[in-house]
Structure 1
């Protein structure tokens, strides 16, 4: 377990639960052991912190590559932080470099680890649930692990887009876990792309049922990084 993650589980996690008192439903669906992918809606940069606070196992989040490659003292700080948290770098420009995130995640999952992916690929700009990209499904098929649907409610009130510091909103955050989606039934499909799309559509339908969000049958627009685009957990570009 990464050192900083261990420290966070003993310090930050209890502080988050004490300060915001989130409601948690469906914890029985969280695997006690073995690899799994957590895939949920993405409302706020606070999503990762609340998810990590209520799961007593370390979760690896995908983080944009810039956190690992920024020059200077700032770059050293962010790279150390990301490495310490066990984050997996994602090259967002696409191509073979973007697929390296999959290469890193697969052995982690097959070794019994957990990974969090946001199928929408970025934070929702308006609170609605957008069409999912197939990265989580492709990863689950490649690693042979289930996908645990996650529904976040209220995190956009804790840390709205563009706001740096979180706001204490006790009892307004709810985290719901759905029944794991076992992908074995799709592993022999004639087309991996078709299987990945079917799994993703099933996943997004489950997330929508957990959150009650309005569903939008198109991909979420990417926010400019200068305006606070969330990098952590974003799906690599090849997912379609």
Structure 2
């Protein structure tokens, strides 16, 4: 066999190919190797009155093809079976191999069935898969996730992936999209929905003020809100990163008791109570991250 004294033309081309560089990084990754020390997990997600974060220009209008999604996308038995397979592959095959998860559920969450609005603090791309796969079985099979139409529904492959794995429905963050009533239709059909009332991921892990939409939606239809606190997700995969930190960082998913709007309670008051509950769940279960 003849040995080569230098790179061939194909090898030189590969060396300059960005796709080849990315493949080398992936093939050299060793999840079992020790990682650099993980950052300290926030003791509290209370932003202490900090102003809303600047997330740049206002989102562009969602593409036309993101609209006109009907209930059949969420209720069809064939889609449900396909979704179950995709979720098993993605959640169990990828997510649980990159982080160490601990789930805590209050008793009321365990027996909750049917329509509800699941809300949580939001600071990582891990948030939705962690919540969806940590819900009680009677909720996780059908839960649909509200996602930003201007981010996840801009290309066919993003739309296909989010609909297949996350049972996603588009939310126009400008509030003018053609799917504005879809979340109401889903809840009326008995389908739980997951929304992030902050509207976008936090850059520093601190929870900003919830928009009142989720509280208003649950109150108007008469369904409970299921509060969730994510502890360590921001440190495991901060905003503007494409992969969790090496070394399987710990994450706690704390699911609280369902909340129902009280008689004569204002939407703002209900929203404040939901936010306070998420903060309290974070404080209560934060010590578990060290165990």
Same-fold call, TM cutoff 0.5: yes
Q: TM-score, length-normalised on structure 1?
A: 0.74
**Matching of residues 157-236 of structure 1 within 5 Å:** 157-170=235-248, 172-183=250-261, 185-186=262-263, 189=264, 195-212=266-283
Distance 1:120 1:149 in 2: 13
Distance 2:106 2:92 in 1: 17
- For structure 1, the 5+ residue unaligned runs are 214-240
- For structure 2, the 5+ residue unaligned runs are 1-74, 285-291
| Equivalent in 100, 103, 106 of residue 24 of structure 1 | 103
Q: Once the 2 structures are TM-superposed, how far is the Cα of residue 26 of structure 1 from its aligned partner?
A: 1.6
Q: Write out per-residue CA displacement over residues 142-162 of structure 1, whole angstroms, 9 at most, x where no aligned residue.
A: 222100110000011221111
Give the secondary-structure state (helix, strand or coil) at the position aligned to 1:42: coil
The residue aligned with 1:117 is 195
Q: For the aligned residues, what is the CA RMSD? A: 2.4
Q: Write out per-residue CA displacement over residues 112-166 of structure 1, whole angstroms, 9 at most, x where no aligned residue.
A: 2111111222212222222211011011022221001100000112211111122
| Equivalent in 117, 123, 131 of residue 209 of structure 2 | 131
Q: Does 1:38 align with 2:118?
A: yes
Equivalenced residues, count = 199
Distance change (3 Å), C-alpha of 1:179 and 1:68: closer
Higher RCO structure (Cα 8 Å, ≥6 apart): 1
Contact 2:184 2:217 in 1 (8 A): yes
The residue aligned with 1:216 is none
Q: Report the more deviating stretch, 14-23 or 142-151.
A: 14-23
